[in-house]
Amino acid sequence: QKAQAAASAQEELEAMERQQQKLKWQREIFKDDRKRLAQQMQTIQRAQDELKQMRDYKHAATLRAARVIGCTTSGVVMNQDLLSEAGAEVLMLEEAAEIMEPLVLTSLSDKCKHVIMIGDHKQLRPKAEHYPLTVESGSGHNLNESLFERLAKTIEVATLSTQWRMHPEIALIPKLITYPTLLNAPRTEQPPPEFAPIKGIQNDFLGDGRVVFIDHREPEDVRDALASSQGEAVSKTNKYELEMVVAVVRYLCQQGYNPSNLVVLTPYLGQLLKLQEALSADWTVLVGDLDFAEAKQHLDDVAGFNVGGAAATGEQCVRVATIDNYQGEEADIP
């Protein structure tokens, strides 16, 4: 047995030596190839830099001649040198209450003289992935507090007094909660026929059923949530509301509504995943690009998800979305 063990150890040693010798020969054989590859990569990089400079020179001339330049805040960060050449003296930020303060600061150039911010700090804040860094966590970091919101607490802001998009019954909700002086534009008093009250719905509180509140006392599912790496719950689910939503969607379809007229909104990604699974038993369920991207971070298999617009699929789809990612879109019956 000792002899066998010694022979086995000798074989392992010889195999290791052979492997080391093989690697040594490989390094020697490919030494010149690696050197040539590095030189070629440097040549390619120099050519790419020169090409970029030529393109930037052309684009800079175009930008300097433009009266208005439009881009995203991410686009500003990626093209700071180019935009600096344009010498814009006025920066206007739209939806400024949803832009994190660092992105606002990186959008400023040394030639900027005026900053105009348009937004609403009483609506959604910027989106922060890590909950402990948010205002809502109470930790004091306040990463998702925009510069717009911070300034609005200390200086006077101008507020639009008239809304042009909602029926007065719907506008009554933000008026009672957030905007007590809100006025309705005349055209909202007489909406077109396609915006008639929802069929089959009656509501004693707000008139003809354009807004319906359903109250219940069923608690959220116990710890049935997506969790962050630190263990904080970042998403929630509610089985009772899930079954209620499926029943309401089925009832509205029975009233003659096309599934593509509907959108189901939820504050939580966890509930969205449950909704997608439950609704897909009877309908094609559509998930937006942003929600799909977030779902992929938590699911191994998202092959059953339909992503994109209903028109692109050619199917009658029920859209499900989180409130944060649906903002700016619209539906007949949300």
Q: How many CB atoms lie within 10 A of CB 122?
A: 13
Closest by alpha carbon to 268, among 304, 294, 296? 294
- Determine the pLDDT at residue 5: 66
Overall pTM > 0.75: no
In what helix (H) or strand (E) does residue 307 lie, and over which residues does it extend? strand 306-307
For 25, 56, 101, the CA distances from 80, given in Å and listed in that order, are 48, 11, 17
**pLDDT, tens digit (0-9, with 9 covering 90-100), for 38-71:** 889 999 998 988 888 777 777 778 888 888 888 8
Best-predicted range by mean pLDDT (116-120, 186-190, 226-230): 116-120
1-15, 78-92, 209-223: the lowest-pLDDT one: 1-15
CA 273 to chain centre: 16
**Does pLDDT of 194 surpass 70?**
no
- Residue 91 Ramachandran class (φ > 0 left, ψ -120 to 50 alpha, else beta): beta
**Does pLDDT of 7 surpass 70?**
no
Q: Are 145 and 114 in contact (CB under 8 A)?
A: no
3-state secondary structure labels for all residues of 107-172: CCCCCCCEEEEECCCCCCCCCCCCHHHCCCCCCCCCCCCCHHHHHHCCCCCCCCCEECCCCHHHHH
18-22: average pLDDT: 80
Closest by alpha carbon to 226, among 285, 267, 271? 271
DSSP state of 90: E
Q: At what angle do helices 269-279 and 289-296 cross, to 10 degrees?
A: 100
CA 247/CA 54 separation, integer angstroms: 60
Which residues, 6+ apart, have CB-to-CB distance to 163 below 8 Å?
171, 182, 183, 184, 185, 188
**pLDDT, tens digit (0-9, with 9 covering 90-100), for 199-237:** 877 765 555 667 888 888 988 887 544 444 444 445 788
- Determine the pLDDT at residue 233: 46
Q: Which amino acid is at 31?
A: K
CA 304 to chain centre: 20
Q: Are 316 and 298 in contact (CB under 8 A)?
A: no
Higher pLDDT, 178 or 223: 178
What is the end-to-end Cα distance of the chain in Å, rounded?
79
| Sign, CA torsion 98/100/101/107 | negative
Q: Are 211 and 170 in contact (CB under 8 A)?
A: yes
Radius of gyration of the chain (CA): 29
Q: How many CB atoms lie within 10 A of CB 197?
A: 16
